[in-house]
Structure 1
Amino acid sequence: MNQEQKSGKIFDVVVIKRLFVFMKPYTRQFVLLIFLIILLAALVPATPLLIQYTIDNYIVQANYSGLHIMVAVMIGLLLIQSVMQYYNTYLSGWLGQHIIRDIRIALYKHLLQLRLKFYDNTPIGRLVTRTISDIETLSDVFSEGLAAIAGDILQLIVILAVMFSIDWRLTLISLCMLPLLLLSTYIFKEKIKDSFNEVRTAVSNLNSFVQEHITGMSIVQIFNSEQAEFKKFNEINREHKRANLKSVLYYSVYYPVAEVISAACTGLLVWYGARGILNEDITAGTLTAFIMFISMFFRPIRMIADRFNTLQLGIVSTDRILKLLDSKEFITNEGSFRPTDMKGEVKFEHVWFAYNNEEYVLKDISLHVKAGETLALVGATGAGKSSVINLLSRFYEINKGHIYIDNVDLQEYELNALRDKIGVVLQDVFLFSDTIMQNITLGNPAITREKVLEAAELVGARKFIERLPDGFDYNVMERGATLSVGQRQLISFVRAMVYDPKIIVLDEATSSVDTETEEMIQQAIEKLMRGRTSIVIAHRLSTIQKANKIIVLDKGEIKEQGTHEELLAKEGFYTQLYRMQYKEVV
């Protein structure tokens, strides 16, 4: 059984104990909720007792004036119970919503601090489920789980104690069918738990399928796979329906069975009680009170199976959330150096790096880029070019060796201060579903609109942006779907420019655009690189011929380095790459 399917223990002490840590700021509200639960449980028997007293002392005696008083008392008690029940329900919901808000904030803050290696190994869908679905399930622990179960159990104890204090014989008659009800409740609980697991798995499969195929709809339509994919969807949807109908079946069977058992108890009680009334051993008021007690006693037992399943699912969700919060995949941020004026000199000294164990993707890399110079990295796919820039921004930690910026070890830099000075423009530009202005500033209040306009003018993006509806306030939709590749790339240049980095990294920045757009982008790149240390990754060797130094990587090792002319003269790896591209052009 996988993590999405398991049900876990109902009372996992460790999980509940840690959950209560989030409740600590709301101790007063929690204590008030417990007080209301106890008070409501204590008031539950009051109505049957008042009815018993009214029947035996006023109705039988035909005392109408006393009857009116008792009716008024019962109405007053009903109003008090209604008000208390309102505050009990509202407070449990309020408490649950505040706690899951705090947990969701803590979880998202935690996710922001995890290193990229964690995201490489963890499906995004699972993280979305933890942050949204699991936390929503957790809210039910407070609104329908812990507090409700505690209230039900306390109510059962109070009712049972009052029943025995009134008449032990009627109590035993009332409870004679209880074992049968408990057995049916247990069977129902186990069956509905299994069906809940099936429903949850079916929902997860349905969500994954829909998300994946809507994202890849262009592939589905290009290859005429609509009918085949529809059949797959229909099968998954059918399984979802079957799982839900299974749970509906269990509810349809259990509640009528519970009602029949309750009715049988009432029938036995009336039969025995009527004989007692005829023999004057039992009063009419006592029998009436016990009939009411049976209804009050059996109702929480019927509900408790549902509540236990709710609590069980909540505990499992909590356990999964806590395991994510316990993840220690952090980039260590123990450095304290915050440069006021970074020059941008970069050194790699005997750097080794592996994404997994010791399968090194960079092997003994040493390179030196002086402040203001341009270094170009070339090589086949998988040579290790992108790994170099990932290490420079400390998205990953090196296994061996040292990296220096301005002769200061990268580990000594305060992480935010380091990344403030490094601008990265990737081949696959990511834009959020927001305005162009927000995608450029990323919500940084220190970046003014005037600074954005100036940067956009400088890199040549202002004209096309202002031609869009709403200009800089145009919503680019998810991943910038309404813009061309070149437009998204220009926006990423503006974003890098407004942060004014001392080191600029360009990763395949022009490999996915046409020649005309590439010329426009090349002009933007020249302006962006001016006065900055630049590290450029490119497949098109024509774009890096002016670089101060070119390094050729192959299988994680430096094979050659030098200027464009020096490397061509060597007749080695670079020359081979150059001639292959020249043939393609010809």
Structure 2
Amino acid sequence: MPHNIQISMSWLLRYLKPVKGRMAALLLLLLTSTALQLINPQIIQRFIDTAAESGVVSGLLALAGMFLAISVCQQLITVGLSYLGNDVSWRATNQLRADLLKHCLRLDMRFHNLKTPGEMIERIDGDVTNMSNFFAMFIVQIVGSFVLLTGILGFMFVTSWPIAIVMTVFTLVSIGVLVCIRDLGVQTSQAERAASASLFGLIEERIAGIEDVQANGNVPYVMNRFHHAMRAVFVHGRKAWMLRVVPWNTTVILFSFAVTVVLLMGVHFYLTRQITLGMLFLIFQYTQMLNEPIEQLGNQMQEFQRAKSGLRRSGELLAIRSEIDDGIRQTMPDGALSLEFDQVHFSYKEDKPVLHNITFSLGPGERLGIIGRTGSGKSSISRLLLRLYNTNSGTIRIGGEDIRSLRLDTLYSRIGMVTQDVQLFDGTLRDNLTLFDERISDHRIIETAQRLGLHTWIEALPGELDGHLSSGGASLSAGEAQLVALTRVFLTQPSLVILDEPSSRLDAATESALQSAVDQLMQQCTGIIIAHRLSTLEKADKIMVLGQGRILEFGSRESLAGDPFSHYAKLLAAGSQEELA
């Protein structure tokens, strides 16, 4: 996003537009409060002059009652301003949070691999929270401050033009200084937000790896990293704060000179009987009030600097574009889908190729078993199928269609995948099985569970389908989480399914019970089984052996198993699971 104020303000107004009615009400309240602020000192002036002239008591009581009523109204309006300001703030910034989150969820995996969840939380919430006061009160208070300044100076020009000139000079100089140094703390505020994001990223990363941290005695190392990160937040925060308060300090110094000159002039005019005692008080009161809008402008400049740093960082985040472009085709053939890789090359980093010239094809309904050592590229094939990454070159076709031409939601609706690392969400078991799709009925869930032989497991859980699961799956064992993931796939009724060793966390008895259900699923779709145990490939139609990102061999399971010189036959003969690890 460009860094000039005009574009930032237009971007800000985009989020304020939905709350323009509340903004108008906020402005109306502020103008009313400003008018009452101008009236009350004049009531006091009349009270003082009336008392000095030995006026009637009833008149004094009327003025006191008027002053009290206006003061009460001002307090009520202040409460209304606070409530409405926060309401506008959260409505506007919550929409920005939603836009940032939605944008991040659509970014490709290369982006997410570089960002920790803690850092992203700070970018989506922390930066936006910094803008909340700016969203709520900046425009309104700027307008209100100028209205109050105009009212004070206008009255003083009518009352005493020499004092009005001094006040005007003070006002113009103060506003000029504020405008000149408005961006003084923006860069340092950005650095402060970046340091804070790094701190949150460090905390999230270390908490996620708490078992390794404790088991390996790395707590002192983690604390050392934490202290360094905290110091960076402190250093950048201190510098940002010192620069942000420069506008306020400047106005305080200018005000000190202005109030001294005004008071000396006011006392002189009183002693020479050019003004009354009440008017001297009014001049003093208006001089004090003159500082309030100037100080408010200074405070808003601080908020502006903090908010602009957040606006820039949010704009930078929204400017990032995913390398995965959505296609336009919304239809695919019914039933099981064919699959073809045509000279596919892929790398996560330019200097480290992961897949080299991967070429193979599967007919509709066929099962492919993929084996190979760790790092051979097995999981990368599944990630390319789901378009989590783009290929460097080559073409992948599903159902005869280049996957780059398909809409992502169309692609995902026809492919199911079960990984070893199952993500569970905070919600009921039903929510986790359906992924919050209310169109899937309980009857269908139970029917699917019976086919899988899981209905007894569900019935044994507290609350059954209504049982609550905590985020991260702490309430389920690793094997039970795997069962949830398998059921999810069955419920989506995919045309192509990818199983990344789905039974790796299941005991032998549960694995055996699930095998017949997996066979039923595979009869209705094309299947890819990424295996670490050869026993899971007994019903595969074809076998692919990968090594260092290349296809070492590819063919029917029977032919490879019958060829004593094939990699697959040697693995079978050795009966070695370790050789696949």
Match of 1:432 in 2: 425
- Who is 2:142 aligned against? 149
- Once residues 489 and 133 of structure 1 are traced to their aligned partners in structure 2, the CA distance between those partners, rounded to angstroms, is 35
Q: Deviations over 1:328-373 (max 9, x none)?
A: 3164333333347323222233333344558643333322222222
Report how far residue 450 of structure 1 moved. 1.7
Match of 2:131 among 138, 142, 145: 138
Q: Structure 1: how far apart are the matches of 2:177 and 2:409?
A: 60
Counterpart for residue 568 of structure 2: 574
Alignment of structure 1 residues 417-456 onto 2, 5 Å: 417-456=410-449
- For residues 30 and 169 of structure 2, what CA distance do their matches in structure 1 show? 28
Residues 377, 553 of structure 1: 8 Å contact kept: yes
Q: Which residue in the other structure is 1:460 paired with?
A: 453
Q: Which residue of 1 aligns with 2:14?
A: 21
Cα deviations by residue, 1:275-319 (Å, 9 ceiling, x for unpaired): 432321221121000111122112333344332121211122122
Corresponding position: 1:118 with 2:106: no
Q: Which residue does 1:562 correspond to in 2?
A: 555
Equivalent residue in structure 2 for 1:55, among 35, 44, 48:
48
Q: Distance in 1 between matches of 2:422 and 2:152?
A: 66
Aligned equivalents of 1:444, 1:581: Cα separation in 2: 43
* 1:401-446 Cα distance to aligned partner (Å, 9 max, x none): 4333333443444432332221111121111122222111011112
Q: CA deviation at 1:161?
A: 3.3
> Out of 217, 220, 224, which is 2:213 matched to?
220
Matched, 1:129 2:122: yes
Check conservation: 1:149, 1:308, Cα contact below 8 A. Answer: no
Bigger shift: residues 530-539 or 413-422: 413-422
Measured in 2, the distance between the counterparts of 1:550 and 1:112 equals 35
Question: Which residue does 1:496 correspond to in 2?
Answer: 489
Residue 93 of structure 1: aligned partner? 86
8 Å Cα contact 1:493/1:524 also seen in 2: no
Matched residues in 2 for 1:311 and 1:184: separation? 15
- Residue in 1 that maps onto 2:303: 310
Quote the Cα distance in structure 1 between the aligned partners of 2:163 and 2:147. Answer: 21
Map of 2:541 onto structure 1: 548
Change (3 A) 1:342 1:115: farther
Instruction: Find the aligned partners of 1:449 and 1:583 in 2 and give their Cα distance.
Output: 39
User: In terms of mean alpha carbon deviation, does 128-137 or 497-506 score higher?
Assistant: 128-137
* Residue 357 (structure 2) pairs with residue 364 (structure 1): yes
**In 2, Cα distance between the equivalents of 1:242 and 1:543?**
56
Q: Aligned residue for 1:296?
A: 289
Structure 1 counterpart of 2:396, from 396, 403, 420 = 403
State how 1:161-176 maps to structure 2 within 5 Å: 161-171=154-164
Q: Is the 8 A contact 1:427 1:509 kept in 2?
A: yes
1 CA distance for matches of 2:416 and 2:105? Answer: 19
Correspondence 1:473 to 2:491:
no
8 Å contact kept, 1:113–1:330: no
- Deviation larger for 245-254 or 128-137: 245-254
Q: Measure the CA separation in 1 of the matches of 2:180 and 2:301.
A: 13
Q: CA deviation at 1:565?
A: 4.0
Unpaired segments ≥5 residues, structure 1:
none
Contact 2:48 2:278 in 1 (8 A): yes
- Cα distance in 2 for residues equivalent to 1:346 and 1:477: 37
Is 1:332 paired with 2:325?
yes
Matched, 1:506 2:499: yes
Q: Which residue of 2 aligns with 1:320?
A: 313
**C-alpha distance in 2, partners of 1:555/1:310?**
54
Number of the residue aligned with 1:525: 518
TM-score (norm: length of structure 1): 0.84
Secondary structure, counterpart of 1:479 in structure 2: coil
Structure 1's 294 and 372: CA in aligned 2 closer, same or farther, altered over 3 A? same
Task: Describe the SS at the equivalent of 1:329.
Answer: coil
Moved more, 290-299 or 328-337: 328-337
Q: Is the 8 A contact 1:104 1:135 kept in 2?
A: yes
Structure 2 CA distance for aligned equivalents of residues 13 and 252 of structure 1: 23
**Aligned pair 1:416/2:388, yes or no?**
no
Give a deviation string over 1:211-255, Cα, whole Å, max 9, x none.
222222211221233345445545655776788789999999999
Q: Judge conservation of contact 1:348–1:403 (CA < 8 Å) in 2.
A: yes
Q: CA 1:480/1:273 → structure 2, altered by over 3 Å: closer, same or farther? A: same
Gaps of 5+ in 2: none
Identity, in percent, stands at: 27
Q: CA deviation at 1:582?
A: 2.7
The alpha-carbon deviation at position 524 of structure 1 amounts to: 4.4
Q: Which amino acid aligns with 2:273?
A: E
Aligned in 2, Cα 1:200/1:290: closer, same or farther, shift over 3 Å? same
1:341 corresponds to = 334
Structure 1 counterpart SS, 2:424:
coil
Distance 1:139 1:549 in 2: 58
State the 1:142 CA deviation.
2.2
Letter in 1 for 2:96: I
Structure 1 residues 243 and 22, CA gap change in structure 2 (3 angstroms): closer
Aligned residue type for 1:210? I
* 128-137 vs 301-310, which moves further: 301-310
Taking the aligned partners of 1:217 and 1:295, their CA distance within structure 2 comes to 57
Q: Flag the 1:231–1:108 CA change in 2: closer, same or farther, 3 A.
A: closer
Paired with 2:401 and 2:237, the residues of 1 have a C-alpha distance of: 61
Q: CA deviation at 1:148?
A: 2.4
1:188–1:389 distance in 2 versus 1, CA, 3 Å? closer
Q: Residues 187 and 576 (structure 1 numbering): CA distance in 2 closer, same or farther, change over 3 Å?
A: farther
